[in-house]
Structure 1
Amino acid sequence: MSYRYRGYLIDLDGTLFRGREVIEGGLAFVSGLEKRGIQTLYLTNNASRTPEQVAEKLRDFGYPAAPEQVVTSAQATAHWIGEQFGRPSVYAIGEEGLRKALHEAGCTFEEQNPDVVVMGIDRAFSYDKMKTACLAIHAGARFIGTNGDRALPTEEGLLPGNGSLIAGVAAATGIRPTFIGKPERPIMDFALKRLGMKPEETLVVGDNLMTDILAGVNVGIDTLLVFSGVTTPMEYRQSKVKATYTVSDLREWDYI
C-alpha cells in the first residue's frame, strides 16, 4: 500500500512521553508506523541528551529507536554554527548533549572572549553562568539558542524550559538570540536532509502548537497536533496557527 506521508518527524516530550511517564497512544502510533515500514525520525528541541541517550530512553519506554533516528536541537545548532562560523570558540551553557554536539562540530570551548555564546537547557544554571554569557555578548559574541521553549511538559506539570533561561540573558544584554530549534527553519532543513524526504512527503507530529506545528507551517510540511502535552484544545481554537490534522490521542490516526 502506498501512503501519502512516507516520512514522519515526531516530537518527544508531551507527544510520546511526559517526563518519566509513557503516553500509551504514542506507543501504538509508532508501532503502527513500524509495521507499515514508514520512515521516522524523533525530532526534539531538548538539547540536554545525546542521540544515544535519547534512543535509550525511548527504548526503555518501549519505542523502537536507534541513535541515528534521533535529531536534537543540539545537533542542529552545532551543524548550523559550523556552516556559519567554521570552527569557532564557544561559551556553552548546557548539558552533555549540547557539549558533545559542539565538540563533534569542531568548536573549542572558551569562557573569555568566545566567538559565540550558545545556550541550551541547563538544570545547573547559575548567576555566574549568566554573568559570563552576558559579558561575552556585550563584548561582541554571537548569541545562539538551541530552542526557545519556555516550558517543558513533565509528570509534575510544566517546568521552566530553555527559553525561560535565555529570556534572562536577553533581558540583561538587550540582544535577541538566533534560535535554531523548532519552530525555526534550520532544524527542519537539517531533519529533512537526515530523513531523506521532500516536505510534501513528510508529516510533523507534536503536542506544541507554537513549536512543532509552527515549524511545519514555516517550511511547508503538513502537521498533526495531538492534545497530550502543552497545547490544549481551547488554546488551539483561539490560535491563528492551525495544524493540518488534530487528534486527542495518537491512536486515532489512520496513517493516510
Structure 2
Amino acid sequence: MTDSHPTTFDGVTPTPAWAFDQYQRLRDQLPATAANQSAPRWIASLEPLAGEFDAFVFDAFGVLNTGQAVIPGAAARLAALQALGKPVLVLSNAATASQQALTAKYRAMGFGLTEDRIISSRWLLEDALAREPRQGVWGVIAPAHSDSQSLGPLTQQPVRPGVSDQALDACDGFIFLSSEHWDEPLHAQLSNSLKRRRRPLEVANPDLVAPRGDCLTLEPGFFAHKLREETGITPRFFGKPYGPAFDAALERLAGIPARRILMVGDTLHTDILGARTKGMASLLVTGHGSLAGLDLETCIRTSGITPDFVTSSI
C-alpha cells in the first residue's frame, strides 16, 4: 500500500528542526511539569537498564519501527525483556488501525505482543466513546481502510476528499483519527464549517509528525492545532503526552510504582514529557525518530524536558 500521509502542507515540509520548533511554539498547550535538574545518562543501548526497572513502556514509531520497517534489534530487545519476566507495553499514538489490526501488524513484524500489551490512542478514544456515548452525527476523519466501525455505536459521516459542505455542516462533532489523504482543500472545508458553527473536535493522535522511512509525515495533532488557531475551538486529545494515555499504561501495570517503570520514546514533547508528568523514568531514543540529527543537548536545554537516559537505539 502506498503511504498517503501528507509530507507537505501549505508550503510546510516537516524536518526534525521544524518539528521541535513547532512543539516549542505549542508548549502552552502541552502538560506542565517541573524541570529535571539532573543531566541525562548516555548509554549504548537499553540493555544495562533491564535490571534497573520492573516494567517497560515503548513508543512505537521511531523506537520499534519507522513506517513499515522494523528498526534493527527492536524485536529482539523486547523479547529479551519478556524472557526476563519484565512486563512490556507499547504505548502508541497510532489511531488509523483498530486494536486487532494494530496487534496483527506488530506480531507480523516479529514482536511478541498481545492486544492487552498495546495501548493505542485509537483504543483510548474508543474506550472514552464507550463510557461517554456521543449523540448526533459525528464526522470521522479517517481513510476507508481504518474500520471506523470499531468506534462503537456512533452515527458517522466519513470526512474524506469529496465530502460536501452540507455534510460537514450537518455534523454535531468531529473525530480526527488519521491524516491520510488530508490536504489543503479538505482542511479549508472543515475549518470554514467550524467557523460557521463551533462544534467539538476530538483527536486520537496528538503527534505533529511521524517518522516514515526517510521522511516525516504531518499527523493529526498538527492539523488539530491549526484548526484551534483558525477557529478558536479547543481540541480534546487522547494520546501522548496527555494524561489518559499514561494513566492507562499505569493501570495496566498496577502494583508497580511509576518510578520503577521506564518509558522509552523518541520525542521529548510527547514520550518524555508525558512520562515525567506521571513520575515515570524515561529513555530518549535519538537515532530514528523526530529528533534524528539534531543537537540533543541544545534540544533538552531549550525545552527544559530532560530524560533520565539517552541512547541512539534500543
Same fold (TM > 0.5): yes
Unpaired segments ≥5 residues, structure 2: 1-49, 158-166
What secondary structure is seen at the aligned counterpart in 2 of 1:168?
helix
Structure 2 residue 270 is the aligned partner of structure 1 residue 223: no
One-letter identity of the residue aligned with 2:290 = V
Number of aligned residue pairs: give it: 246
Using the size of structure 2 for normalisation, the TM-score is 0.69
**Equivalent position of 1:25 in the other structure:** 73
Percent identity for Structure 1 against Structure 2: 24
Matches of 2:195 and 2:231, distance apart in 1: 7
**Equivalent position of 1:192 in the other structure:** 250
Larger Rg: 2
Q: Which moved more, 1:8-17 or 1:164-173?
A: 164-173
Q: Give CA deviations for 1:224-249 in whole Å, capped at 9, x if unaligned.
A: 11112112424235431011221122
What secondary structure is seen at the aligned counterpart in 1 of 2:73?
helix
Using the size of structure 1 for normalisation, the TM-score is 0.84
Structure 2 residue 150 is the aligned partner of structure 1 residue 86: no
| 2:205–2:219 contact (8 Å) kept in structure 1 | no
Unpaired segments ≥5 residues, structure 1: 251-256
One-letter identity of the residue aligned with 1:168 = K
| 1:143–1:177 contact (8 Å) kept in structure 2 | yes
| 1:88–1:116 contact (8 Å) kept in structure 2 | no
Matches within 5 A, 1:16-165: 16-83=64-131, 85-89=132-136, 90-95=138-143, 97=146, 99-103=148-152, 106-110=153-157, 113-126=170-183, 127-128=185-186, 131-132=189-190, 134-136=192-194, 138-165=196-223
RMSD over aligned CA atoms reads 2.6
**Equivalent position of 2:31 in the other structure:** none
One-letter identity of the residue aligned with 2:313 = D
| 2:198–2:233 contact (8 Å) kept in structure 1 | no
Greater relative contact order (Cα < 8 A, sep 6+):
2
> How far did 1:210 drift?
0.8
| 1:40–1:195 contact (8 Å) kept in structure 2 | no
Q: Give CA deviations for 1:120-153 in whole Å, capped at 9, x if unaligned.
A: 2231225346524652575342222113211111
What secondary structure is seen at the aligned counterpart in 2 of 1:48?
coil
Matches of 1:197 and 1:182, distance apart in 2: 22
What secondary structure is seen at the aligned counterpart in 1 of 2:127?
helix
